Amino acid sequence: MQFRRSDFPEGFLFGAATAAYQIEGHKFGGAGSTHWDTFAATPGNVIRAEDGALACDHYHRFGEDLDLLQEAGMDAYRFSTSWARVMPDGKTPNPKGLDFYDMLTDAILERGLKPFQTLYHWELPSALADQGGWTNRDTVHRFGEFVDVITNKIGDRMDSIATVNEPWCVAFLSHFLGHHAPGLRDIRATARAMHHINLAHGEAMTRLRDKGMKNCGIVLNFDHATPLDDTQESAAAANLQDAISNRWFVEAITKGTYPTEVLAGFAPHMPDGWQDDMEQISQPIDFLGVNYYTRHRITSDPDAPWPGVRDVPGDLPLTQMDWEIYPQGLYDFLTRLSREYVGDLPLYVTENGMAWDDKVENGAVFDPERTKFVSDHILAAKRAIADGANVKGFFYWSLLDNYEWAFGYEKRFGMIHVDFDTLKRTPKASYYALKAAIARE
Ligand code: IFM
């Protein structure tokens, strides 16, 4: 890695991130069915129809996994608490699920790691999916109840709480593009989910503040929309793409408004009275989490209905996901966010990482591509700090190879390799490189 811990301000946090359904093993501990279980069980949605029933069996092996985090010299661990584990039917608390997160919290703290919790990383209980999931406003209230229940159990020990992970994925990727559960392709469902997930963030913030919780915020994913060429059409298309992917969320949360160019498509489908929710959505937060992976080159698609944009494959090196590697995009977002949206509010890079077709050879995994990727992105964050962005930490996605949603177990994002037959963990070379870079001198 081309940086040292000492290149960063005192107190800057290095960590790794995971999410419940992707690692825990959802068949254990009385967790309820989620919309991902049914999505995965429907042919054609997920590679090999794989699901999170066993995943990395973190449910039983969390001690070993947290030891690896500690041994790497990490400061913090970002994890999520599954709604369907805590409330299997979406409303009744499951004591075993609550005990699991209680135990996990203590285990994180015992290792000197700061717990960064995410409340919703996509484990929607099937019972609520049956009622329309995020297209139904009532799901927002049910989510508020979950926030109360889990926070009463572990909130006293959290360093930081994020309400929702990547609302664009929850709403657009899942209801417009159909790539994630529930796999819809419907503009009306999308408009509603796009609003309700923001309102769920607001509802969670209200509940957390009622309990006096500090360090609360949200994690948004930012996708760099680069115009394909210097035509006006590409500029307008990239602007619209940016508004849908990025501004819909960050503008609502920090300013209480939606971009007009997106409302141009969604307005006829928005739930009645949505304007009255904007105040709750835009209540003050304590930090903004930034997930950043790639860019897309955008141009217009005049023959397609709204939004009439398409992305064109680029010429930069690609990861195993076929995502272009573009560290400059992280710099651009961090500086743009502080300039245009959050000012001096703390920013965390809550996810950044790459998938690669890693193999264990002679007991080791050699992944120089990932070491370079991480180094280049951390250096981009460092430049953003020098140019005024208040970036407080960086979390690698992901601690472990895990369930990569519609890609099943095929795409390996981990710094630690997982053999999905034996569940053996093997730290990759990038893990040791990061460990050396963040060692205290
Ligand atoms: O695995 C996902 C994670 O759940 C959310 N952010 C992006 C990651 C890589 O696709």
> Distance from the CA of 191 to the center of ligand 1, in angstroms?
22
CB 68: neighbour CB atoms within 10 A?
Answer: 18
pLDDT of residue 441: 81
Per-residue pLDDT, 227 = 98
Please tell me the predicted confidence (pLDDT) of residue 194: 99
Domain membership of residue 80 as a residue range: 5-437
CA–CA separation, 394 and 397 (whole Å): 10
Q: Which of 172, 293, 319, 351 is the best mutation target for the ligand 1 pocket, counting ligand atoms within 8 Å of the beta carbon and taking the most?
A: 351
Ligand 1 contact via 404 beta carbon (within 6 Å):
yes
- Beta bridge partner(s), residue 220: 290
Nearest to 17 by CA among 420, 415, 437, 426: 415
Q: Find the CATH number of the domain harbouring 396.
A: 3.20.20.80
In testing the pocket of ligand 1, which one of 398, 401, 402 has its CB within 8 Å of the most ligand atoms? 398
Backbone angles phi, psi at 5, to 5 degrees: -55, -40
- Tens digit of each residue's pLDDT, the chain (441 residues): 999 999 999 999 999 999 999 999 999 999 999 999 999 999 999 999 999 999 999 999 999 999 999 999 999 999 999 999 999 999 999 999 999 999 999 999 999 999 999 999 999 999 999 999 999 999 999 999 999 999 999 999 999 999 999 999 999 999 999 999 999 999 999 999 999 999 999 999 999 999 999 999 999 999 999 999 999 999 999 999 999 999 999 999 999 999 999 999 999 999 999 999 999 999 999 999 999 999 999 999 999 999 999 999 999 999 999 999 999 999 999 999 999 999 999 999 999 999 999 999 999 999 999 999 999 999 999 999 999 999 999 999 999 999 999 999 999 999 999 999 999 999 999 999 999 999 998
Residue nearest to atom 4 of ligand 1 (CA): 19
DSSP string spanning 208-236?
A: HHHTT--SEEEEEEEEEEEESSSSHHHHH
pLDDT at 100: 99
> For residue 424, which of 349, 337, 365 has the smallest C-alpha distance?
365
Which structure tokens are listed for 356?
A: 């690669």
Distance CA 387, CA 375 (A): 18
Annotated catalytic residue: which of 50, 123, 251, 351?
351
Task: Say if residues 330 and 384 touch (Cβ distance below 8 Å).
Answer: yes
**Strand residues in 110-169 grouped as ranges (E):** 114-120, 160-165
CA of residue 353 to ligand 1 center, whole Å:
9
Question: Do 228 and 234 meet the contact criterion of CB atoms below 8 Å apart?
Answer: yes
Q: Does the annotation mark 351 as catalytic?
A: yes
Q: Find out whether the beta carbon of 331 lies less than 6 Å from any atom of ligand 1.
A: no
The 10s digit of each residue's pLDDT in 337-353 is: 999 999 999 999 999 99
- Write down the catalytic residue from 24, 50, 123, 166: 166
Q: Is the CB of 397 inside a 6 Å radius of any atom of ligand 1?
A: yes
Separation of CA 325 and ligand 1 centre (Å): 16
- Judge if the beta carbon of residue 166 lies within 6 A of ligand 1: yes
Q: Hey, which of 23, 164, 245, 405 would you mutate to test ligand 1's pocket, going by the most ligand atoms within 8 Å of its Cβ?
A: 405
Cα of 221 from ligand 1 centre, angstroms: 9
Its pTM stands at: 0.98
For residue 232, how far is its CA from the centre of ligand 1 (angstroms)?
32
Instruction: Let me know how long the chain is.
Output: 441
Q: Which of 51, 66, 57, 28 is nearest to 421 (CA)?
A: 57
Check pocket membership of 19 for ligand 1, CB cut-off 6 A: yes
What integer pLDDT is reported at residue 66 of this predicted model? 99
Non-local CB neighbours of 37 within 8 Å, separated by 6+ positions: 26, 51, 52, 53, 126
Instruction: Enumerate residues 6+ apart whose C-beta is below 8 A from 212.
Output: none
In the three-class reduction of DSSP (H, G, I as helix; E, B as strand; rest coil), residue 274 is classed as helix
Measured CA to CA, the distance from residue 96 to residue 77 in angstroms comes to 22
- Report which ligand 1 atom has the smallest distance to the Cα of 221: 6
Compute the distance between CA of residue 427 and CA of residue 413 in angstroms, rounded to an integer: 12
ω into 88 cis (within 30 of 0): no
Q: What separation in Å is there between the alpha carbon of 275 and the centre of ligand 1?
A: 30
Q: How far is the CA of 61 from the centre of ligand 1 (A)?
A: 21
319 lines ligand 1 (CB under 6 A): no
Tally of domains within the chain: 1
